[in-house]
Amino acid sequence: MESKSSENIPNVDQERMEKRREASQWAVAWRRFRRNKAGLAGLFIVLFFAFIALTSPWLAPYPARSYQALYEGAAGQSPSLKHPFGTSNSGLDVYSEVLHGSLGDLYVGVGATAIAVLIGIAIGSLAGYSRGGLGEVLLMISQIFYTIPLLPLILLAARVFLILVAQGFGLTLILILLGVFGWSGIAFVVRGEILRVRELEYIQASRALGAGRSRIILRHVIPNILTPVIVMATLLIAGNILTEVVISFLGFGDVNTSTWGLTIQEGYAYIRTQWWVTVFPGLATLFAVLGFNLLGDGLSDAINPRLRD
Amino acid sequence: MENNSANLLEIKNLVKFFPVYTRGILLKRQTGNVHAVDDVSIFIGRGENLGLVGESGCGKTTLGKTLMFLEEPDKGQIIYDGIDMVEAFRSKNVEEMRRIRHGIQMVFQNPYTSLDPRMTIYDILSEPFAIHHNVEKKEWKNRVYELLKMVNLEDYHAERYPHEFSGGQRQRIAIARALAVDPKLIVADEPVSSLDVSIRAQILNLLTDLQQKIGLSYLYISHDLSSVRQITNRVAVMYVGRIVETAKTDEVFTKPLNPYTQALLAAIPIPDPEKNRIKIILQGEVPSATNPPPGCRFNPRCHYATDLCREKEPALREITPGHFSACHYSEKFV
Amino acid sequence: METLLDIKGLKTYFFTEAGVVKAVDGIDFQVGKDESVGLVGESGSGKTVTGLSVFRIVPPPGKIVAGSIIFEGEDLLKKTNEEMRKIRGRKISMTFQDPTTSLDPLYTVGDQLAEVIHEHQKELSKKEVWEKAEKLLEMVRISEPSIRVKEYPHELSGGMKQRIAIARALASGPSLLFADEPTTNLDVTVQAQVLDLIKDLREKQKMSLVMITHDMGIVAEITQRVQVLYAGMVAEVAETHSLFRKPQHPYTEALLQAVPRIDLRKELRVIPGNIPNLITPPTGCRFHPRCPYAKDICAEKVPPLELTDIGHFSACHFWRTLSLSGA
């Protein structure tokens, strides 16, 4: 190996021919994520549930909320070949309900989170960027929303809604409520990230080069703050699913659409004798929430802003 | 309007304050100001390298940022190449603003946060072209390779990401980015402080080479006086928001006329055990910029302080030709 | 001179996901009684890790994998944690680079000093402990110690915090102090104050000092002997005067020429390349890829640390034939 007393790094040719691994943020993060077994497990679980949710209209042997089993004289039966998860007293095929329920719960979970993320990014960005009054006011609003207890609020709203409109909550309405009241966590994270990134030198360098505000926000700020938001969103989905299940279980949910909570609620009274009606949707909830949590943790470990070796 | 004066940049009575808030019950209220830059006047000639030195809180970084309009000045004038910068930005004169953004660029201290980690080197170096539309798209690649070469890097480095490079290399990329708009003046804010000692010379020599090759001017901001000695033509010493001494580099270092400068120079250890010097150990600490002491800001720590120093703040005045100092007794040190 | 600390063949590795980082890869290091020794190097040289190894506080995934550290006749690496606790802070002390993070923001200055005093001198009464705390503050030239003692770290400036950290380190009168870059984060004029204080204290307390630094100026000012580290190994050991006047290792020569001075203008020498990767360090002599004098043998064989003159050692194959220039 020869050394040269020059300004350049020695062995320039060797470096050029060295096989380089793809080094973008995402590639590095993916490689790191791949090694995290828990995260991978989470990803598989999430993909699994997404799959069955989307194919449930075709995959499930019985349509949603179908009490057909009652007419077939097969109500209240323990798991069998025809009804792998058994049937409820009212004639529901638990297996079908679990499949349909996955669509319902994912709908709420993902939908509510999408709304929360949009609102959270909007408010968080404004709060992070504005210097002075507006930022303070938005921060206070976020803090107020943060302290509102979500579950009691929705239960109360459902009650009032029932009295006023003589109708229970629809799933979409629950989704909207969860989104509209659940954005504050994201807003805090976004605001914090913007405060951090705003003063970083590469942002100032872009300004010094003459870049306009929109360019800086779109090209420099947002890509650099997305990662904690993605992680939070994943965990938020898990939380929203769980909240929905609790709402339905308590009887305040949508009685016309299949959700796990609804099925659990229906079988709750008979839990001693017909355990399958509560246990299977309960397990589904458990795994779904677990899956999103593991995925979120895995992402968080992999997409670590610490970039240096 | 062509400007034929010798000076590329002139700063006159520049003031930049930062408000200080305390938290009330609901809102915060302003309780004071940090006098970051307090009536500073300096100039930089064409092809000149002016060193700006001082300890923490003296305002040198703020001065650098303000002159680039990364912070808006509260008072004073900044004239770049004949253009009144404050007026240009206030009236949103597009042509003048463009000339300013092309003319003055900055190299930052921290090589790890001055490059966007999500962009490749090619993206980073071509961003100026995307912003200003001054280079045709098909020429971008060549220009990027040219820039890399100017800082002694290779073209295949363009596909890589910042985290694949060492601190010294990143700093060179930052310099290349500054060069992308063909600037006349580069504000270098502590460009080598975060780098290892054996790497610093690479960057410092690069800056000097570029100056000779393409006639750049620099404002070299640093707390490391040793490097300032090597690469600057003139030096300005700042203390708590003011300039306390300025002159040709060799003059300031061999015959400082301001007690603060003297203490500063005496405090720096020399890498030579044979050298014996008179030690000046100051009392106290650098004062807070929110509440500077009355009179001369250095008086609480100055060995020579008199009543005059405690009452009246000395103006920056010419003691010997070209050598300015803000001290009532500078003549005594000549 | 009597040897106080004798480190032989120290190897401390970090077992990370990316590979094994050989931070310290075979270092010999001695400190005599009442001696001031500099441990000089840039980042990745292993100077801080060496200090941490002596105290056995190397953070995971780091582990000391080989060597011996003899202090007062006993090998510190063979001691139990209990025994080490009696030595840390009492016989050997350390101050760290960032005074802001080395002091706990939740406790007053007095509390933190009292904690250390009490830890090693349990027989003192509360009143005596606090009196001693104030005396310590006086010793490090902090004005109005009775007021300061009740203040919290964030109320104090960087220079004061570092002096308090020094006071805390000296509370039990150790015979050896490791100062890891004590002035790097401080302003220049404050740096001078702290260095002057350290010099003074060392003489008064008859203490040995290991000054871990990258600043050759500090080395020239405060040390009697110097050890130059590069990439986890020893490059050169010598008395300070000899090192600066007649270095015997190309890295030392390069370093001295690359460092600017305020008292004269000089051409700054560029050292090409970068600090090497410690997971896959260069074969043979670790400096060879950047060394202007390197020959084939430098890439093949690790140069042994050889005696070149009285008290002067160099780890270079060609110290005999090279005539290197000093500061």
Give the tens place of pLDDT for each residue, C170-189.
988 899 999 999 998 888 88
Q: Rounded CA gap, B11 and B79, in Å?
A: 6
Residue B104 contacts A where some CB pair is shorter than 8 Å? yes
B226–C260 C-beta distance less than 8 A: yes
Which of A210-214, B262-266, C22-26, C138-142 shows the lowest mean pLDDT across its residues?
A: A210-214
A10–C272 C-beta distance less than 8 A: yes
Residue B253 contacts C where some CB pair is shorter than 8 Å? yes
pLDDT value at C226 more than 60 = yes
Which of A73-77, B52-56, B90-94 shows the lowest mean pLDDT across its residues?
A: A73-77
Please name the residue of chain A whose CA is at the shortest distance from the CA of residue B108: A201
Optimal mutation site among A28, A31, A199, A201, interface B, most CBs of chain B within 10 A: A201
> Among residues 110-169 of chain C, which lie with CB inside 8 Å of chain B?
157, 159-160
C270–B201 C-beta distance less than 8 A: yes
C272–A6 C-beta distance less than 8 A: yes
B268–C262 C-beta distance less than 8 A: yes
Q: Is B6 exposed, middle or buried (0-12, 13-18, 19+ CB in 10 A)?
A: exposed
Residue ranges of E strands in chain C: 3-16, 19-32, 36-40, 62-71, 74-75, 92-95, 176-180, 208-213, 225-230, 233-239, 306-309, 312-314
Q: What is the pLDDT of residues A134-165, one digit of tens each?
A: 888 899 999 999 998 888 888 888 888 888 88
Please name the residue of chain C whose CA is at the shortest distance from the CA of residue A309: C18
Nearest to C289 among A6, A8, A10 (CB): A10
pLDDT value at A106 more than 70 = yes
pLDDT value at B93 more than 90 = no
Q: How far out from the chain centre does Cα A299 lie?
A: 12
The count of CB pairs under 8 A between chains B and C is 135
* HSE value, Cβ hemisphere, 13 Å, CA-based, for C112: 23
Question: What confidence category does residue A20 fall into, taking pLDDT thresholds of 50, 70 and 90?
Answer: low
**Residue A125 has what pLDDT?**
87
Q: What is the pLDDT of residues B125-176, one digit of tens each?
A: 999 998 888 888 889 999 999 999 999 999 889 989 998 898 899 999 999 9
Residue B19 contacts A where some CB pair is shorter than 8 Å? no
Residue B264 contacts C where some CB pair is shorter than 8 Å? yes
Cis amide prior to C304 (ω within 30 degrees): no
**% chain C with pLDDT above 70:** 100
Q: Rounded CA gap, A226 and A110, in Å?
A: 17
**% chain A with pLDDT above 70:** 90
> Among residues 40-59 of chain C, which lie with CB inside 8 Å of chain B?
42-43
> Which residues on chain A are in Cβ contact (under 8 Å) with C291?
3
- In this prediction the ipTM stands at 0.84
A209–B101 C-beta distance less than 8 A: yes
Work out the average pLDDT over A114-122: 93
Nearest to C42 among B197, B263, B286 (CB): B197
User: Contact partners of B by the rule of 3+ C-beta pairs under 8 A?
Assistant: A, C
Q: Rounded CA gap, B175 and B168, in Å?
A: 11
**Residue A251 has what pLDDT?**
84
Q: Rounded CA gap, B136 and B149, in Å?
A: 20
C254–B225 C-beta distance less than 8 A: no
Q: What is the pLDDT of residues B46-78, one digit of tens each?
A: 999 999 999 988 899 999 999 888 888 999 999
Please name the residue of chain B whose CA is at the shortest distance from the CA of residue A133: B27
- Whether residue B8 contacts residue B46, with contact meaning beta carbons closer than 8 Å, is answered with yes
Instruction: Looking at the complex, report in whole angstroms how far the Cα of residue C30 sits from the nearest Cα belonging to chain A.
Output: 33
Which of A81-90, A218-227, C36-45 shows the lowest mean pLDDT across its residues?
A: A218-227
**Residue A88 has what pLDDT?**
86
Question: What confidence category does residue A107 fall into, taking pLDDT thresholds of 50, 70 and 90?
Answer: very high
> Which residues on chain A are in Cβ contact (under 8 Å) with C292?
3, 5
Structure tokens at A198: 């705003």
The pTM is what?
0.81
Q: What is the pLDDT of residues C66-113, one digit of tens each?
A: 999 999 889 999 999 889 888 888 899 999 988 888 888 888 899 888
**Residue B293 has what pLDDT?**
86
Which of B27-31, B75-79, B274-278, C149-153 shows the lowest mean pLDDT across its residues?
A: B27-31
> Which residues on chain B are in Cβ contact (under 8 Å) with C270?
201-202, 205
Which has the higher per-residue pLDDT, B139 or C17?
B139
pLDDT value at C203 more than 70 = yes
Q: What is the pLDDT of residues B267-318, one digit of tens each?
A: 899 988 888 777 788 877 778 778 888 889 998 889 888 999 999 999 999 9
Q: What is the mean pLDDT of chain B?
A: 89
**% chain C with pLDDT above 90:** 60
Classify residue C108 by its DSSP letter. Answer: -
The count of CB pairs under 8 A between chains A and C is 26
**Residue A9 has what pLDDT?**
40
> Which residues on chain B are in Cβ contact (under 8 Å) with A210?
97-98, 101-102, 128, 131-132, 181
**Residue A241 has what pLDDT?**
93
Q: Rounded CA gap, C96 and C324, in Å?
A: 34
Residue A16 contacts B where some CB pair is shorter than 8 Å? yes
**Residue C274 has what pLDDT?**
85
Nearest to C327 among B55, B253, B271 (CB): B271
B145 CB contacts (<8 Å, ≥6 apart)?
A: B155, B158
**Residue A7 has what pLDDT?**
37
Q: Rounded CA gap, A177 and A149, in Å?
A: 12
Which of A6-10, C58-62, C106-110, C155-159 shows the lowest mean pLDDT across its residues?
A: A6-10
Q: Rounded CA gap, C238 and C249, in Å?
A: 11
Q: What is the pLDDT of residues B162-171, one digit of tens each?
A: 988 988 999 9
Question: What confidence category does residue B22 fall into, taking pLDDT thresholds of 50, 70 and 90?
Answer: confident
Q: What is the mean pLDDT of chain A?
A: 83
Classify residue A80 by its DSSP letter. Answer: -
**Residue B24 has what pLDDT?**
65
Q: What is the pLDDT of residues A210-267, one digit of tens each?
A: 887 778 877 888 878 888 898 899 999 999 999 999 998 888 888 888 899 999 988 8
**Residue C9 has what pLDDT?**
94
Residue B21 contacts A where some CB pair is shorter than 8 Å? no
Structure tokens at A80: 């069998």
The neighbouring-strand residues paired with C3 are C32
> Which residues on chain A are in Cβ contact (under 8 Å) with C274?
9
**Residue B27 has what pLDDT?**
65
**Residue B258 has what pLDDT?**
94
Please name the residue of chain B whose CA is at the shortest distance from the CA of residue C220: B273
pLDDT value at A306 more than 80 = no
C292–A3 C-beta distance less than 8 A: yes
Q: What is the mean pLDDT of chain C?
A: 91
Work out the average pLDDT over A74-89: 84
Nearest to B268 among C193, C217, C275 (CB): C217
**Residue A5 has what pLDDT?**
32
